Homo-oligomer: A and B are copies of this chain.
Amino acid sequence: MPTANRNPEIRKDAVNNRWVILSSARSRRPSDFKSKSQSKTDSNSTSNAQPQCPFCAGNEHQCAPEIFRVPEDSTSDWKVRVIENLYPALSRQPEVKSDHEEYCQANGTAGEVSLGGFGFHDVIIESPVHSVHLPDLSPAGVAVVLLAYKKRIEQLCAVDSISFVQVFKNHGASAGASMSHSHSQILALPVVPTTASTRLDSMKEYHNQTGRCSLCDIHTDNFLIDESTHFISIAPFASTFPFEIWIVPRHHSSHYHELDEDKAIDLGGLLKLTLLKLSLQLNDPPYNFMIHTSPLQVTSSQSPYTHWYIQIVPQLSTIGGFEMGTGCYINPVFPEDAAKILREVEVP
């Protein structure tokens, strides 16, 4: 990967309050392990009929119950299905109890907390056809998936004890995927996870100092990749990973589910373009994307500084003990170099 030879830098972003080490020297180190299989073996078979895949059209009966499909009309063919996860991380039973709730109380262990694992864990099947991946869809086709996320989040908002909803996608085994059929997941939690509360604090601090929203202010100079009517894509100033990309709404918006149909098609086009560029430039890498939205119960005093965005991360290397220990990542590719490369990728 041709990137400029720069001095190492330690950067912190204004959104997540996270340090990162940028060091191009790191990209030159050799490895005496066999190089790890990239996403060809990873993102698997491209044949159409997969009799054993429960996510394929025709195998609906092998899946956990459906929540809804698009279009809703059950007589026509579906484009997208939202179903329960058959092996859920959390239980849909509000009365699920932790053996340790009592234990923690009895032992008065300050700091340690145990809650019953109540929550929702759903799967979004993005296409009825095994070989069709998200960027293979048209902008309007991607929008159908994006609007299914929105609809499901709105349903989850209605559940009293749900505080946070995480939408994410794993593509390829090295990105954690256990299923190769194109899909994403939604987890709804009764707590606000650390990353989201840290982001809230960090964006608040920026707002206190400047009176502005850190994501409305995000600078694009050398970091811009592409833009559409309502969104921009950038390589963030303090990128945690090589070729990390953020897609940010131009106009201030706290929650992903404020997305309307027009914007969904516009976003569908930019997301498709971005995934195609990653695939062309990095040889179809495994990747994750995460929708970073605000906690559901954001107050009116918080809304001026909360702003949702999508983070896309191609999985190009394995992290080690330094990152696990410190939460500070070593990134060998400067984001201004990644942005330049991705700006120039030509999509046929």
CB distance from A73 to the nearest CB of B (A): 30
Beta-carbon contact of A7 and B320 below 8 Å: no
Beta-carbon contact of B318 and A175 below 8 Å: yes
Q: Scan residues 289-337 of chain A and give those whose CB is less than 8 A from a CB of chain B.
A: 289-292, 311, 313, 317-322, 324-328, 330
Kindly identify which residue among B115, B169, B317, B324 contacts A9, using a CB–CB cutoff of 8 Å. B115
Beta-carbon contact of A90 and B322 below 8 Å: no
Asked whether A76 is an interface residue with its Cβ less than 8 Å from the other chain, the reply is: no
Given contacts A117-B22, A205-B111, contact A326 B14 (CB under 8 A): no
How large, as a class, is the contact surface on chain A? Answer: 35 or more
Asked whether A3 is an interface residue with its Cβ less than 8 Å from the other chain, the reply is: no
Kindly identify which residue among B17, B238, B324 contacts A313, using a CB–CB cutoff of 8 Å. B324
Binds B, one of A29-37, A245-253, A277-285: A29-37
Binds B, one of A134-142, A188-196, A259-267, A340-348: A188-196
Beta-carbon contact of A18 and B194 below 8 Å: yes
Beta-carbon contact of A194 and B17 below 8 Å: yes
A319 to B214 alpha-carbon distance, docked (Å): 29
Beta-carbon contact of B117 and A195 below 8 Å: no
Which residue of B has the minimal Cβ distance to A291?
Answer: B325
Count this chain's copies in the assembly.
2
Beta-carbon contact of A7 and B206 below 8 Å: no
- CB contacts (< 8 Å) of A17 on chain B: these are 111, 194
Binds B, one of A93-101, A143-151, A227-235, A268-276: A93-101
Kindly identify which residue among B11, B98, B190 contacts A114, using a CB–CB cutoff of 8 Å. B11
- CB contacts (< 8 Å) of A10 on chain B: these are 90, 98, 114-117, 119, 189-191
Beta-carbon contact of B44 and A32 below 8 Å: yes
CB distance from A30 to the nearest CB of B (A): 7
Given contacts A109-B14, A214-B111, A326-B193, contact A178 B88 (CB under 8 A): no
Beta-carbon contact of B180 and A32 below 8 Å: yes
Asked whether A113 is an interface residue with its Cβ less than 8 Å from the other chain, the reply is: yes
Beta-carbon contact of A288 and B324 below 8 Å: yes
CB distance from A26 to the nearest CB of B (A): 6
CB distance from A124 to the nearest CB of B (A): 12
- CB contacts (< 8 Å) of A89 on chain B: these are 8, 21, 23, 25-26, 322, 330
A13 to B11 alpha-carbon distance, docked (Å): 29
- CB contacts (< 8 Å) of A116 on chain B: these are 7-10
What per-residue 1/0 map shows which CB atoms of A96-138 lie under 8 Å from chain B?
A: 1111100000010111111111010000000000000000000
Asked whether A79 is an interface residue with its Cβ less than 8 Å from the other chain, the reply is: no
CB within 8 Å of B: which residues of A? 6-15, 17-19, 21-23, 25-26, 28-34, 36, 41-42, 44, 52-53, 86-91, 96-100, 107, 109-117, 119, 164, 166, 168-170, 173-180, 185, 187, 189-191, 193-196, 198, 202, 205-206, 209-210, 214, 217, 219, 237-238, 288-292, 311, 313, 317-322, 324-328, 330
